[in-house]
Amino acid sequence: MRKRMQEYFLKNPHLKYIMPAMLIMVVLSIIPTIFLTCISFTDYQLGWDLSRLKFVGMENYIRLFSGADRDFWHSVFISIGFMVMATLIEMILGFVTGYCLNASEFALKPLVIGIMIIPLVITPSIAAQMWKLMLNSEYGIINHLLNSFLGIKVVWLSDQMAFWSILMLDIWQYTPFVALIIYAGLRSIPDEPYESAAMDGASAFRS
């Protein structure tokens, strides 16, 4: 068995490079997904010992999709709204930012690109804790600035503002990613199409 495995890895040398990532994906994604799928067919509640589980079949899914649990559909609509708004805003802001970076050359462009990378390398959990402190209604830096310059105070983490606060965080973290991808794509386009468009009388917008 061991000899067969050695021969297999010799025939497929690329596996030793992708195997660590595959193992991490299996442990952190695939196994938990299978576990949660199996647990969804039981009456499990958070904090229970697994020995108390009872198989209930499709009962949980019937309760959710039949409308018996009103909070479920409310959560679904909130998630869809968040997805649509975040994606739309990030695509628009990212495109405008990437286009502006590509259209102009200035001495501090490498510094700007370096700053844009910072939100991408911060893990979401750390970013959430950082913004939680910044959005604190009493001691947060954002409310301090708003109160100093505009004389207003916003309870960012209240029930009414939580959606918009999280949306703002998501836009801050992922708009630079869209901008850098679009910037890289625009930089890869040769000058010939732009020169041909200019000779045909196309405006900057149409180009």
Task: Average the pLDDT over 42-67 and give the result.
Answer: 84
Q: What is the mean pLDDT of residues 112-139?
A: 88
pLDDT in tens, 67-97: 777 888 888 899 999 999 999 999 999 999 9
Distances (CA, A) of 46 to 29, 73, 98: 20, 21, 45
- Kindly report whether the global pTM for this prediction surpasses the value 0.75: no
CATH 3.40.1210.10 matches 70-207: no
d(CA 164, CA 82): 9
Instruction: Give domain limits for the chain.
Output: 1-68, 70-207
Mean pLDDT of 52-60: 86
> How far from the centroid of its chain's Cα atoms is residue 165's Cα?
15
pLDDT at 106: 81
pLDDT band at 167, cuts 50/70/90? very high
What letter does residue 26 receive in the DSSP assignment? Answer: I
Closest CA to 170 of 112, 100, 93: 93
As separate numbers, helices (DSSP H) first and strands (DSSP E) second, the chain gives 10, 0
Bridge partners, residue 55, by sequence: 42
More confident residue, 3 or 86: 86
